């Protein structure tokens, strides 16, 4: 069985990214978790940042109107969950029997997430060139999804070599880091190219409006699909427009779940039992 056949015969791991689409509200976060569960996703993902590390004082003190105030600091802090909220997320997801994890955007946030003994890490496209961060994640030897947006081949080479050297299991996630992404820039052929070049697990993290490219990505052998989700695309937030609402998420998951069913396990060697009576009716010359 080829790598593609193997991938298509398996259940695709579907990640519903809440990210910061909760807008600082645990009520919204729980609704999004429930939405992911109802759609039959395998996991939900958040984002964790240490505001004073990720952003400069100049940026944080600059003007930005938001529901939380009129500075970038107000906006960034308003979107950030801390230990109280993550404890609640951890408890809620365990009670609902769905996996959760988060993409750390700095070393302090990575250490913060250690306390939850998560089954997966996620390296966002923004972090793939941060060599010290990559090393610290790889040293943990926890399966890691590595997004490849905004990268040169040498960046991916470095990440793959490091994770292989540290014996840390990983999945490369083909990604285009525009929000929302135009369909003619998706280049889903890179799913096949990444698999061929690195001989590793490959998935897709999409930021387009439609659920269809993610379905196509799964049909190309993506072992994981990650999509942002939202209660309403018109809500406040930079990621909302590139997210799937309930209808799109449900459609995407339903179609992806059909792939191993319609792909099948065996190569056809003869007339199927269900075809025999039809053959008798239609092949008049054999009667």
Q: Where are the domains of the chain?
A: 3-286
Strand (E) or helix (H) holding 218: helix 212-219
Contact of 89 with 31, CB cutoff 8 Å:
no
Within 10 angstroms of residue 67's Cβ, the number of other Cβ atoms is 12
Length of the chain: 287
Question: What span, in angstroms and rounded, lies between the C-alpha atoms of 103 and 205?
Answer: 13
| pTM of the shown model | 0.95
Three-state DSSP class for 40? coil
Strand (E) or helix (H) holding 94: helix 83-96
Question: What span, in angstroms and rounded, lies between the C-alpha atoms of 39 and 49?
Answer: 28
Within 10 angstroms of residue 63's Cβ, the number of other Cβ atoms is 7
What CATH number was assigned to the domain covering residues 3-286? 3.20.20.70
Strands, DSSP E only, in 1-125?
13-19, 43-48, 63-66, 69-71, 99-104, 121-123
The pLDDT of residue 79 is 97
Torsion of CA 16, 22, 24, 28, to 10 degrees: -120
Question: What span, in angstroms and rounded, lies between the C-alpha atoms of 214 and 252?
Answer: 7
The pLDDT of residue 185 is 97
Question: What span, in angstroms and rounded, lies between the C-alpha atoms of 92 and 27?
Answer: 11
Q: Are strands 63-66 and 69-71 parallel, antiparallel or unpaired?
A: antiparallel
At residue 121, what are phi and psi to the nearest 5 degrees? -115, 165
Residues of the chain falling short of pLDDT 70: 1, 7
The pLDDT of residue 1 is 55
To the nearest 10 degrees (0 to 180), the angle between helices 83-96 and 26-38 is 30
With vertex at residue 110, the alpha carbon angle to CA 109 and CA 115, rounded to the nearest 5 degrees, is 95
């Amino acid at each position: 069985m080829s790598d593609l056949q193997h991938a298509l015969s398996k259940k695709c791991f579907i990640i519903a990214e809440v990210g910061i689409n909760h807008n600082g509200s645990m009520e919204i976060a729980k609704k999004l978790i429930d939405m992911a569960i109802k759609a039959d996703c395998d996991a939900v993902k958040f984002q964790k940042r240490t505001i004073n590390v990720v952003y400069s004082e100049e940026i944080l003190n600059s003007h930005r109107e938001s529901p939380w105030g009129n500075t970038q600091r107000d906006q960034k802090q308003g979107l950030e969950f801390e230990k109280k909220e993550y404890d609640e997320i951890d408890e809620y997801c365990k009670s609902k029997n769905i996996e959760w994890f988060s993409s750390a955007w700095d070393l302090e946030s990575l250490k913060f997430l250690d306390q939850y003994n998560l089954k997966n890490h996620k390296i966002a496209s923004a972090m793939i060139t941060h060599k010290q961060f990559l090393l610290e994640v790889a040293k943990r030897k926890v399966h890691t999804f590595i997004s490849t947006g905004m990268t040169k081949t040498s960046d991916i080479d470095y990440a793959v070599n490091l994770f292989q050297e540290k014996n840390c299991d990983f999945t490369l996630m083909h990604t285009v880091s525009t929000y929302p992404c135009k369909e003619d820039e998706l280049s889903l052929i890179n799913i096949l190219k990444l698999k061929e070049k690195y001989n590793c697990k490959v998935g897709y993290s999409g930021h387009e409006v439609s659920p269809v490219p993610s379905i196509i990505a799964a049909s190309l052998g993506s072992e994981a699909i990650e999509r942002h989700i939202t209660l309403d695309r018109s809500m406040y937030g930079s990621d909302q427009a590139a997210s799937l609402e309930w209808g799109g998420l449900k459609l995407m998951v339903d179609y992806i779940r059909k792939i191993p069913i319609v792909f099948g396990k065996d190569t056809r060697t003869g007339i199927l039992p269900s075809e025999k009576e039809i053959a008798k009716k239609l092949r008049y010359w054999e009667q």
